[in-house]
Structure 1
């Protein structure tokens, strides 16, 4: 889940959402190149970057939050890609660069040339990738989703010169506790079910 995300009703429609869809596994490099060359496909939110990109941050769409009515911790489930894009595109501050569905479908929002506010402190020099997943350590990440992520990570690594240490989980960077329960971390995504080391091996060690 994105930093400072609030549990709120989802908009009824997504007429303001401008996103570019990359068909599953088809010409991923061409797809990303199209987005970079023609950002009219993407939502223009976030200021232009003033820092070099040195990091990629992995998120899951599901995760813990505080119920605004009861001030008790609740778990928000993954939701669908369309639902999550509606929320993010309608939010006045939050943003992402890419989202990957369970079947491997990749969609892009904020251009890489712009800052997407997705993690405290590090947004200015990072790229945000959201994975559709509950983030609870029990929801598995399908191979199709992981394969699409690996293709995207390889592409960004090549273009931006990102090192293995530059790929982070949201939980690596935001270690604060929930305001409604000081015994629980507020950001745990993408969760214990995400095969982090194996994914990095496939990105940085495989040909």
Structure 2
């Protein structure tokens, strides 16, 4: 374990979520250096390189400092309730197939180790929609869902006015505009404009099948 930036999980919590990030840095070495620098006071449990290699930086039993301010469902202290995975990516580039395969292997291990459901795998942007965009619109969430490592909505439409209530049921917290942006980053990155019947329908499906229970 390489990073000194960790603490005890508060309130006796154990991981119930996995939060995925991109590093937004030029290289694995730079990202690791930052995550292991006590001056920056940030860390993650895992760092995944472009070739799929995963390196442990913080023991999963400890509280890594990766999520920051935000919430998911009823959980306000996401750091204490989650495992954080940083994925080496500059924030603009595609995620290589070998890297996605490495993320899948790691996720399978983490979910099995802690009994976390696929619905517990979320984006940093999901739990902090006002301030974060990672892992961004180029990350392949549907691939994870097809492998049973995340969730994906079934096609349907619904009244746009119901979007916010369904979003809260699924787990999002924040103003509608910010939540819509986070939702689209993950599920409809091509979406534009105000909430549509498609946005609302997809969110309704997610809320009904995968309501947040934290």
Identify the TM-score tier after normalising by the shorter chain.
0.5 to 0.7
Following the alignment from structure 1 to structure 2, what is the Cα–Cα distance between the partners of residues 187 and 43?
Answer: 23
User: What does residue 30 of structure 2 align with?
Assistant: 83
TM-score for both structures, normalised by structure 2: 0.61
User: What does residue 140 of structure 1 align with?
Assistant: 94
| Pairing 1:100-179 to 2, within 5 Å after superposition | 100-119=48-67, 120=69, 121-136=77-92, 139-176=93-130
Q: Which has the higher contact order (CA 8 A, sep 6+)?
A: 1
Following the alignment from structure 1 to structure 2, what is the Cα–Cα distance between the partners of residues 192 and 204?
Answer: 18
Following the alignment from structure 1 to structure 2, what is the Cα–Cα distance between the partners of residues 109 and 162?
Answer: 20
1:204 shift after superposition: 4.1
Structure 1 runs of 4+ with >4 Å offset: none
User: What does residue 74 of structure 2 align with?
Assistant: none
Gaps of 5+ in 2: 70-76, 151-214
Say if 1:150 and 1:203, in contact at 8 Å, map to a contact too. no
SS at match of 2:145: helix
Following the alignment from structure 2 to structure 1, what is the Cα–Cα distance between the partners of residues 129 and 16?
Answer: 20
Larger fraction in strand:
1
Q: CA RMSD in A?
A: 1.6
User: What does residue 3 of structure 2 align with?
Assistant: 43
Following the alignment from structure 2 to structure 1, what is the Cα–Cα distance between the partners of residues 123 and 116?
Answer: 14
